[in-house]
Amino acid sequence: MRIVIDGMFPAGGRFDPAFVPAGWNATKADANVYREVIAPFCRGCHSSFESTIPNTEDPLAFATAESVRTRATSVVDHICGSGPLGMPTAEITTAQFFSSSARAVLLQWLGQPGACAPAIDAAP
């Protein structure tokens, strides 16, 4: 989380809305996914995940593009198939995510494009 905060506020200065962590700068596509999807819809919660193993990143922290790519099936399942327990978990964030292009951008980048709507809880 420290890397994200330091990057968003370099040298304690003004907020840098264009900040993209090094782990998301390997390609233009990676950086775009970070700016269009991770930063606005995932970073708030996922950057708080910390590994209990020294000198390692928790893969759920989404610190790198590769950490998300390696979990592509799980990410898609949590977005498209987990109902009210899916991602994003915050109500307003979910509404904004599904009314934006973020879902399509992420699914395309993960190589799993297609229609996906938030799953509705079928229980009475």
- The structure tokens 């370099």 sit at 10
pTM of the model: 0.77
Provide the token pair at 103: 């879902």
Q: How far apart are CA 84 and CA 88, in angstroms?
A: 9
Q: What's the pLDDT tens digit per position in 26-48? A: 999 999 999 999 999 987 777 76
Q: What is the CB neighbour count within 10 angstroms for residue 41?
A: 23
Query: In one letter, which amino acid is 102?
Result: A
Boundaries of every domain in the chain: 23-109
Enumerate residues 6+ apart whose C-beta is below 8 A from 21. 3, 4, 7, 34, 63, 64
Q: What's the pLDDT tens digit per position in 58-67? A: 667 688 999 8
Q: What's the pLDDT tens digit per position in 69-89? A: 998 988 888 888 766 567 887
pLDDT of residue 87: 82
pLDDT band of residue 11 (cuts 50, 70, 90) is confident
